[in-house]
Structures are given as structure tokens and as C-alpha cells.
A and B are shown apart, each in its own frame.
Chain A
């Protein structure tokens, strides 16, 4: 199993450009999440999904859109990139069974480092 993978690993954009970050998981997890990591702020939740075809806003959703057309993929879009969106983006997934154990734990991808000039 590859676990959670993210594409691309690095990207540089100019202000106003658009892009899509792809997250893929091969663990058949229901829940998927997008976070951004900024120095001194930990990770903050952007959007998440509790199943195929569903999305919901997190703590910092403005300027981002997401889609979950397939269970294994979760896309994060920036329609018009701004320098404030320079960050490291992490995707995570979890299987929520309602029973504590190896489920209910988020597994993270390696991250995408995005710079907006």
C-alpha cells in the first residue's frame, strides 16, 4: 500500500494563477482532509470530506475549493492564488468506524510545498 500520496510535491505560482492539488489514498478510507501548515501555527483544516460526493468547510476555507468525485481522491483547488496561500499543504485520510482502534486515526501524505509569488 502506498498510503496517502500527494501530487505535486512542489509548485511555484504567480499571483492570480490557478492550480489543483491531488490527494490519493489506497486504504479505502471514508474521510479525507486538507490542511495547511504555516510556521508557528501548526496545521489548520481547510476542507474535509466524510465520503464520496461530500465536502465540508474547515477552519480556513476561503480561497479554496475541493471535490471528492471518487472515494480514493480528494482535490484541492486554488482558483486565483494569492501570496497568503504560500504554505505547505497536507492531505490526510481516516476510516471512521465508530469503534476506537486502528480506525479513527488520520494518516498523512508527504505534503505539497506551494509558493505564490
Chain B
């Protein structure tokens, strides 16, 4: 079975500071990994994804994530946070062999202070 753990429920960061959100996954084979963002009252928007190849992936809005197989992690980073980055972030894992079904983490809420 596949599963995702996001250890941090809530993170507060100052505008302009760096941000790192942690994600650990459990899956027997090579997973597909995703980060989605959800602004209040909105649906989920894809930030970035990893399928194969380069383990450092670039996404939208200046985000990047690094796949580390040895640590079963897919942490999301942004060098300089903007107030508009305040949202809830979800890490998800899926696999072609599992009908592409996604398992989501519980989410990390990011608060940006001025």
C-alpha cells in the first residue's frame, strides 16, 4: 500500500524567508510524486511532479522539490516566500500500476507573516 506523511501540520514563515515542507512516502516501487497547493475555499492546483529522471524538479510559482530515494522523501522548497504563498500544501504519491490512484498526506498549512 502507498502512503504519505507530512510531519508538519502548520508552519509560519516570514515574508522573504525560505520555506521547506517535508514529505515522506511509502511505496514498494518507483512512485509518482506530486505537490499540490490549495488556497482557502479553492480546489487543488498542481505545483510540480516527479516521475523519473532528474531528482530535482522545478515547478510553478518558484517552487522546487527534490526526490531522495534513500530517504523516501520529496521535500518542497522555495527560496523566498511571498505573502500569496499562504495556503495549504499537499504531498501525494501515485503509481501507474495502481490505476494512478493518489494517496495524499494530511497537508501542511503555511502562514506568511509580514
Contact = CB atoms under 8 A, between A and B. Distances in A.
Q: How large is the interface on A (under 10, 10 to 19, 20 to 34, 35 or more residues)?
A: 20 to 34
Interface in A80-94: 90, 92, 94
Interface stretch (B65-73, B77-85, B98-106): B98-106
Contact of A42 (B42, B52, B106): B106
A104 B51 contact: yes
Given A42-B90, A98-B96, A108-B43, A48 B107 contact: no
Contact of B99 (A31, A100, A109, A110): A31
B52 to A, nearest CB: 6
Contacts of A105: 34, 46, 49
Contacts of B103: 45, 59
A107 B43 CA distance: 10
Contacts of B106: 40-42
A77 interface: no
22 contacts: A31-B100, A33-B102, A35-B104, A40-B106, A42-B90, A42-B106, A43-B102, A45-B102, A45-B103, A50-B99, A58-B101, A59-B103, A90-B44, A94-B100, A96-B99, A96-B100, A105-B46, A106-B46, A106-B102, A108-B44, A110-B42, A110-B43
In the A-B complex, list the 7 residue pairs whose CB atoms are closest, starting with the nearest. Answer: A100-B51, A42-B104, A108-B44, A43-B104, A110-B43, A108-B43, A42-B106
Interface of A: 31, 33, 35, 40-45, 48, 50, 56, 58-59, 90, 92, 94, 96, 98, 100-101, 104-111
